[in-house]
Amino acid sequence: MNTQFKPLVWSGAVVMVILAVFLLASTSRVVNTAATTNTVSFGGEGKVVAKPDIAKVHLSIVTDALTSKTAQDENSKKSKAVTDYLKKQNINDKDIKTTGYNIYPQYKYPQYGGQPTITGYQVNQSMEIKIRDLDKVSDVLDGVVAAGTNQINSLSFEIDNPEALKAEARKKAIEDAKGKAEELEDQLDIDLGKIVNFSENTGGYPVPIYYDAKGLSMGGGGGPSVPTGENEIVVNVSLTYQIK
């Protein structure tokens, strides 16, 4: 072979190798696309209804004073009184948690412009309380206000450990989706293969009940009426099958 043609031969060989690799990759892509796009999905829903076993209360203790230190000291006294009351109701330390503590300057704004002046300070301490004896909820709401709470921000009845109920609802949802798949397999004239995708969405969380502390009963006649009702946990799933 003439040496002057050798570079051309090598160049042609390299081009052939590149084309072969490209064709193999394209074929693989076509096969994989066919395997993943030739699918059908079925949705299922599972529901579990259960009575709540805890009440969760979010409350605030708010104190105004001329100085920051005075506001903090007075707020600490109220906070201690509320905590002491809760412990007397056999509420554990682990179920009494401070979720926020803020100090806000209070301003007076001049009528005709100019710089505002600080007239005092406000301390706002937020707490989350878990009440495990649901028979005490009404009395506890009444008692914390009497002890120094200014605001009952929300009250919700929840399930302390919902994972077991979610698992039960998920199982029902999967069974529902598989049942639809088996039922529609003949109707759609398809032959289903393995499950290639799964997705899940959980809902049914409790809706909080809101209270204004001023509206709560203050001793004598007992606390507010707070029926617990039932909680519904809903799980929706989607199963994607490969069509054979």
Rounded to an integer, what distance in angstroms lies between the CA atom of residue 86 and that of residue 88? 5
What does the DSSP 8-state code read for residue 92?
A: -
SS3 66: coil
Spatial neighbors of 180 by CB under 8 A, at least 6 apart, are: 42, 43, 44
- State the pLDDT at residue 56: 95
pTM over 0.85: no
Count other C-beta atoms under 10 Å from residue 192's C-beta: 19
Cβ contact 234:196 at 8 Å: no
Instruction: List the one residue out of 67, 150, 148, 68 whose CA is nearest residue 103.
Output: 68
- pLDDT at residue number 184: 86
* pLDDT score of 187: 85
Cα 224-231-54 angle, rounded to 5 deg: 55
Distance, first Cα to last Cα, the chain: 54
Indicate the angle between helix axes 137-147 and 68-88, nearest 10 degrees.
150
The domain segmentation of the chain, as residue ranges, is 54-160+206-228
Q: What is the CATH number assigned to the segment(s) 54-160+206-228? A: 3.30.70.2970
| pLDDT digit string (tens) for the chain, length 244 residues | 555 545 444 555 544 545 544 444 443 333 344 445 689 999 999 999 888 999 999 999 999 999 999 999 999 999 999 999 999 999 999 999 999 999 999 999 988 878 899 999 999 999 999 999 999 999 999 999 999 999 999 999 988 888 989 999 999 999 999 999 999 888 888 889 999 999 998 876 554 554 444 444 333 345 566 667 788 889 999 999 999 8
Is 43:236 a contact under the CB 8 Å cutoff? yes
Phi/psi-derived region of residue 209, left when phi > 0, alpha when psi is between -120 and 50, beta in every other case: beta
pLDDT at 205: 57
Cα torsion at 143, 144, 150, 152 (round to 10°)? -100
Q: pLDDT at position 88, please?
A: 96
Q: Alpha-carbon Rg of the chain, whole angstroms?
A: 33
- Res 3: pLDDT: 52
pLDDT of residue 230: 81
